[in-house]
Homo-oligomer: A and B are copies of this chain.
């Protein structure tokens, strides 16, 4: 019952994602024939057919789908081990174990909460150094999984807490953010149906893992860009109430009656055993 080498997992995942040996080999910086052979060896060792080689392309079998999912998790775990070990080791050089935590935060969100948290934690007696790592939309999960971060602030239902330990920090409603001059901006409340159906203001589309949901609205990369597009009267967006903190004068925020409440959690990899992390969590839950 030999283990899979991470090299094999990397190879298979590349092929499974590209569904094309040539492109996968290029992405891996190697030639195509050894890649083909490596996948064949992998299939032999597992005793399972992973890819269906049809004429004109490759497709995943059921087992291939499984290996793609599980293999990604395993690869993340391996790179997390390397990263965290390096960080823990850099600590040793400076005498005692220098505590340093990487906190992943969706770029631009959590302004007030983050401020309060960092201030409160810094006041703790044995506070570790906190590095705030801004992340793309919903990227915090991957960052926790592959060790780029030690702890993250997350928004359910946008982020999934699956696989992490977490504590609830706060709950808030959502608001529609409109151009200040728009007729709907005068309303005291709106419904989701209202904002998704404005003919002249298509709903903005956020990227999620590099993919945008379909729709007429503009594709949004970062919050500044979105803020500008809203101010220009080109789009409308839905945000947690705390987004009011970064609104411009040309923006208007109207509460949504039927949007699901957004819950902010602090989340960390299950089984983390770090005193610094425990302290940060304690501070966060006391806010």
Contact partner, A271, options B6, B163, B165, Cβ 8 Å: B163
Contact A77 B85, beta carbon cutoff 8 Å: no
Q: Are A3 and B6 in contact (CB under 8 A)?
A: yes
A46-B85, A63-B85 are contacts. A75–B3 as well, Cβ < 8 Å?
A: yes
Closest to A90 in B: B48
- Structural contact, B86 and A9, CB atoms closer than 8 A: no
Min Cβ gap A13→B in Å is 10
List chain B residues, Cβ under 8 A from A61: 89, 92
Check A63 against B49 for contact (C-beta < 8 Å). no
Tell me the minimal C-beta distance from A234 to chain B in angstroms.
Answer: 36
Of residues 56 to 85 in A, which have CB atoms within 8 Å of B's CB atoms?
61-63, 65-67, 69-71, 73-82, 84-85
Interface pair A81/B91, CB less than 8 Å apart: no
Q: Chain B residues near A88 (CB, 8 Å)?
A: 48, 62-63, 65-67
Contact A69 B271 (CB under 8 A): yes
A266 to B50, CA, bound (A): 30
Number of copies of this chain in the oligomer?
Answer: 2
**Complex formed: what's the CA distance from A106 to B69 in Å?**
28
Given A6-B6, A162-B165, verify A92-B63 contact (CB < 8 Å): yes
**B-side contacts of A4, CB under 8 Å:** 6, 78-79, 81-82
Q: In the complex, what residues of B have CB within 8 A of residue A115's CB? A: none
A193: which B residues are within 8 A, CB to CB? Answer: none
**Bound form: Cα–Cα A63–B163 in Å:** 24
A124 to B88, CA, bound (A): 50
The answer to whether B89 touches A62, judged by C-beta atoms less than 8 angstroms apart, is: yes
The answer to whether the Cβ of A7 comes within 8 Å of any Cβ in the partner chain is yes
**Quick check: is A221 within 8 A (CB to CB) of the other chain?**
no
Verify A271–B67 contact, CB threshold 8 A.
no
B residues near A209, Cβ cutoff 8 Å: none
User: Does A5 lie at the interface of the complex (its beta carbon under 8 Å from any beta carbon of B)?
Assistant: yes
| A positions within 8 Å CB-CB of B | 1, 3-7, 9-10, 46-50, 61-63, 65-67, 69-71, 73-82, 84-92, 97, 147, 162-165, 269-271, 273
7 A-B pairs with C-beta separation under 8 A = A4-B6, A5-B6, A62-B88, A63-B88, A69-B271, A69-B273, A74-B77
